[in-house]
Amino acid sequence: MVASGQKQALVIGVITGAGYGLVALGLVLIYKSSGVFNFAQGEFGTVAVYTLYRVHDRIGVPLVPAVAIGLAAAVAMALATERVVIRPLFDAPRVTLLVATAGVSLLAISLELWLGEARLRFIQPALSRLDRVSVFGVQVSDQRLLVLAALVMLAVLLALFFSRTNLGLAILGVSQEPVATELMGISVRRLSSFIWGLAGLLAGIAGMLTAPVVGSFGPGFLTFNSLIPAFTAAVLGGMNSLPGAFVGGVVVGVAQSLAVSAPAFHGIPGAGSVMVFVLLVAVLTVRPHGLMGKA
């Protein structure tokens, strides 16, 4: 029988893991279509949150148009990254692209520090009701439910997109046989822009939904809070499986939560983070292609 504390840890893990899953979706999307580990994914989301904060909280633009502007900023940053950094290096080894995206991330964090100061900004959730749902005694706020719903919906939609639409199949074709796909008359460059723009959109959604849950954000918010757990989630689920990102995010969240709440780990600093790395190493050793990925 599962003890009450462990049940609560499971609930906490699922609702915090949903945020990791959202970021992991974007990572998988880029990797699935181009084989690039995108370390800048977190910053696409952070830029969206900064933009939302600036135009909504500071300038006073209503929420819906402010969200649209924030998402547009994330997409614009992703497109700029693709055009200025990724495309010139497209034929370079993948590790070069990995380092390049890490460079984009560091540059973005530096700019956020420079323009936005090294201070936390506080942001209110769009959905403020806290006590609608209670599971095993843990109250799940409406904002957290929204994150969970968005994650499930986006994972399913993207899975359908890649399996049922010509554009989705074309993107998969580019990732597996770029030359053959080009010979079929499909523009690899245009598809690349589309994929990065979509990844930027996903990161923007992740940032805007998770920042109000945490209640605050600062320079490098999504990178520092979520990128490592999200990478673990993506690897755990399988780097080429979008539903795997969802499953991986939840598994990482639950592992973190159990490690934090387990009496055996009480008093150990960073037990949750340690558990994430243990999980990552275990998955890479036992099942390198992940829980739902294809070998």
Q: Tell me how far apart the alpha carbons of residues 219 and 110 are, in angstroms, rounded to a whole number.
A: 8
Residue 2 per-residue DSSP state: -
Q: Tell me how far apart the alpha carbons of residues 111 and 114 are, in angstroms, rounded to a whole number.
A: 5
Max distance between CA atoms of the chain, in angstroms, equals: 60
Binders of other proteins among residues 109 to 138 (CB under 8 A) are 113, 117-120, 122, 130-131, 137-138
Q: Tell me how far apart the alpha carbons of residues 248 and 25 are, in angstroms, rounded to a whole number.
A: 10
33, 34, 38, 257: residue in contact with other proteins (rule CB under 8 A) = 257
Q: What angle do CA 87, 92, 97 make, to 5 degrees?
A: 70
Binding region for other proteins (CB under 8 A) out of 2-10, 46-54, 86-94, 98-106: 2-10
Nearest distance in Å: CB 145, other proteins = 12
**By rule CB under 8 A, what string of x and - marks binding of each residue 220-239 to other proteins?**
-----x--------------
Q: How far is CA 161 from CA 101, 225, 287, in A?
A: 26, 29, 26
Does 263 bind other proteins (CB under 8 A)? Our answer is no
Binding region for other proteins (CB under 8 A) out of 167-175, 230-238, 267-275, 287-295: 267-275
Kindly provide the b/e burial profile for residues 161-172, where b requires at least 16 CB atoms within 10 angstroms of the residue's own CB. bbeeeeebebbb
Residues in binding contact with other proteins, number by CB under 8 A = 37
Contacting residues toward other proteins, per CB under 8 A = 5, 8-9, 12-13, 15-16, 19, 113, 117-120, 122, 130-131, 137-139, 141, 213-216, 218, 225, 253, 256-257, 260-261, 266-267, 269-270, 272-273
